[in-house]
Amino acid sequence: MIQTKNLTKRYGKFTAVDQVNLNIPAGEIYGFLGPNGAGKTSTIMMLLGIVKPTSGEIRLFDEPYSSRRLDLRRRIGVVPEKHPVGMWSWMTAGEYLEMFADLFGLEEADKRIDHLLERVGLAEVKNKKFSEFSRGMLQKLSIVRALLHDPDILFLDEPISGLDPFGVKQIRDLILEENREGRTIFISSHILSEMEKICHRVAIIFAGKLRAEDRMKSMLTSLAKDREIHVDLEELPADLPAKVKALDFVQEATGHERTLMVKVPKTGDYRKALSKYLIDQNLVPLSIQEKSLSLEEAFVTITKENIDLFAGIGGEE
């Protein structure tokens, strides 16, 4: 559905995107992550045909893509980071959506608009001027507009920005539902905990280069330097962490309230050995769970490694 080959964008001597290769199949929720200034926005703008690449290729739907391919652009829905305001602020939400329905030549547009507004909880404000909407309401309205023409690919830039917890769940459920219906979704967001819940694969871009790309579970597993086991006990003796740390397979051991936290090597399963040791100490584990690396921790690991690398290179020069 989305392919790039050596996609590059330069602004003068500055390289914003440096030979990025993407291959996103149909039906995937693909997370595109990176700190501010990493090249995310420039990449997305090129994929949308708004900014022309300096070099490289873009293919959508397995066809060469450019801003002139209106037939392909019609199959794309976009939720930008900035919301609809300005020249349309005098319109009601319904009028705004009707304008876009007319542009796409939608049949039975009223039914489609009412259905989508209902799904995001905006049905009751259809006749309200959206200049009076909150940021979260504008975000939902943008998503409705992007879905009006039933696109095959949906680009989402910070789709849950400004939403309360209930609104976040609404949009998360909507994204998952749209994906189950076969829609390919390309999503960029700073809220990594949400990306972790919905994305099939993620890519991390830093300083214009793609630094990591993999299925969510594989990436988190590969980046983890060790494993952390949490053991809940009826009582945590004060000297237990020090005793456990002395075991030959334990790297670190700490305690908090009634929970013992133990770091062990990445390879191997040490839960049985740890459980046996605790039972030999007349302690009964109430639960033993392994804490997985989070996407946020993986993101920090990758970006920090590259920052340190650049600092080292700069120091050598």
Distance from C-alpha of 110 to C-alpha of 94, rounded to nearest angstrom: 9
Furthest CA-CA distance within the chain: 74
Q: Residue 86: what pLDDT?
A: 64
Task: Name the residue type at position 144.
Answer: V
CATH number 3.30.70.20 given to 2-221: no
Distance from C-alpha of 216 to C-alpha of 201, rounded to nearest angstrom: 5
Q: Do domains 2-221 and 225-291 have the same CATH topology?
A: no
* Mean pLDDT value across residues 60-69: 88
**Cα separations (Å) of 107 from 111, 141, 148, 155?**
9, 20, 11, 24
Instruction: Compare 159 and 315 and report the one with higher pLDDT.
Output: 159
Instruction: Render pLDDT for 163-221 as a digit per residue (tens, 0 to 9).
Output: 888 888 888 888 999 999 899 999 988 777 788 788 999 888 888 898 878 786 777 66
Instruction: Render pLDDT for 129-153 as a digit per residue (tens, 0 to 9).
Output: 888 888 888 888 888 999 999 999 9
Question: So where are the chain's domains?
Answer: 2-221, 225-291
The answer to whether 232 and 290 have CB atoms below 8 angstroms apart is no
- Grade residue 85 by pLDDT with cuts at 50, 70 and 90: low
Instruction: Render pLDDT for 232-290 as a digit per residue (tens, 0 to 9).
Output: 998 898 999 999 899 888 888 898 888 988 888 877 778 888 888 898 888 888 888 87
Q: Count CB-CB contacts under 10 A for residue 313.
A: 9
Torsion of CA 235, 236, 237, 241, to 10 degrees: 160
Q: Residue 305: what pLDDT?
A: 60
The answer to whether 124 and 100 have CB atoms below 8 angstroms apart is no
- Among 12-16, 157-161, 229-233, whose mean pLDDT is lowest? 157-161
> Which residue(s) pair with 22 in the sheet?
4
- Among 39-48, 123-132, 145-154, 160-169, whose mean pLDDT is lowest? 160-169
Distance from C-alpha of 309 to C-alpha of 317, rounded to nearest angstrom: 13
- Paired tokens of 177: 């539902």
Distance from C-alpha of 43 to C-alpha of 199, rounded to nearest angstrom: 19
Instruction: Render pLDDT for 285-307 as a digit per residue (tens, 0 to 9).
Output: 888 887 766 667 666 766 666 55
* Residue 253 buriedness (CB in 10 A; 0-12 / 13-18 / 19+): buried
Q: Count CB-CB contacts under 10 A for residue 94.
A: 18
- Give the predicted TM-score (pTM) of the model: 0.75
* Confidence check: pLDDT of 87 > 80: no
Task: Name the residue type at position 297.
Answer: E
The answer to whether 136 and 162 have CB atoms below 8 angstroms apart is yes
- Grade residue 317 by pLDDT with cuts at 50, 70 and 90: very low
* Confidence check: pLDDT of 310 > 70: no
- Paired tokens of 270: 């040490």
In this structure, which topology does domain 225-291 adopt according to CATH? Alpha-Beta Plaits (3.30.70)
Q: Residue 123: what pLDDT?
A: 92
* Confidence check: pLDDT of 55 > 90: yes
DSSP 294: P
Q: Residue 94: what pLDDT?
A: 92
Q: Residue 136: what pLDDT?
A: 81
The answer to whether 130 and 149 have CB atoms below 8 angstroms apart is no
